[in-house]
Amino acid sequence: MTEPKSPPLIPELLDATLVLVRHGESEFIVQGRFQGHAETALSPAGLRQAALVADRLAHPHDPPALPLPDGPLREVVHSPLRRTTQTATAIMEQLTAAPPLRPEPGLLEIAQGEWEGLHRDEVMARYGDILAAWRRSPTTAWAPGGESLAEVQARVRPALAGMLATLAEGGIPGSLDRSQVSGYMDELPTHPWTIAVAHDGVFKVVLLTLFDLPLERFWMWTMDLAAITVVEFRAGRPVLRAHNLTGHLAPLLDEAAQQEQEERSRSGAL
């Protein structure tokens, strides 16, 4: 007996944009601890990162412009963990006429089981072989008591399907019978868009799923803290418009440089 085919992930002829935002720096990151599903708040630097990414998304067409549409923002979806909720809330506070926040359990970070809360040196000392295997072959090894990538994808896929279905409800079907090359005095599209705030690990699986790539390619993606990635859907075809943008965090680097200069001046160091 033939099993019924699962419905396509991306609605037919979908014209829309999905913006992925990683959370800011957390206290566990400062302490060098594995996170996973463990709860940890944003650090003071993480709160500044959240404010800066929020301001960037509130003014997406200020130069240098983000490749975002001029259409309606449909949702701000986030992992329910504290660090992502804080980041998503900061974004909402900057947006005009934004929809309410929606927690999405499918966007939770990859569960790290027995590693959660442990310092990376302790994980290396106690689980070095497993950690090495995870880094080399992430589909065949993972944290004891944690999630496999297949399990993560099983919850990511319906979460993505729900977000994309909502985008389809708010837009007009597109067509591939148009120029697919950017840079020719392009007008801003007017299709809907959604912001998703989550984690580096789960976003790796999100991107592999959207672009129909095998989970073995897990380590091909990375997202820095408070970075922005933009995926546009053109008549149902996913297009990576931008990945791991962090230019909006430059003020933090300027502040750090200024603080270093002031400390050097006070100490008399050359």
Classify residue 1 by its DSSP letter. -
248 is catalytic: no
Reading phi first (left if > 0) and then psi (alpha if -120 to 50, else beta), residue 185 is in left
84 alpha carbon, distance to own chain's centre: 10
Q: How far is CA 80 from CA 65, 69, 206, 242, 250, in A?
A: 30, 27, 16, 25, 28
Count of residues in the chain: 270
Rg of the chain, C-alpha, whole Å: 20
Query: At what angle are helices 200-210 and 149-169 packed, to 10 degrees?
Result: 70
Provide the token pair at 194: 């959604």
Answer whether 56's CB lies under 8 Å from 248's CB.
Answer: yes
The DSSP bridge pattern shows strands 193-198 and 73-78 to be: parallel
Provide the token pair at 12: 């037919």
23 is catalytic: yes
Catalytic residue among 109, 116, 147, 232: 109
Q: Which residues are catalytic?
A: 23, 109
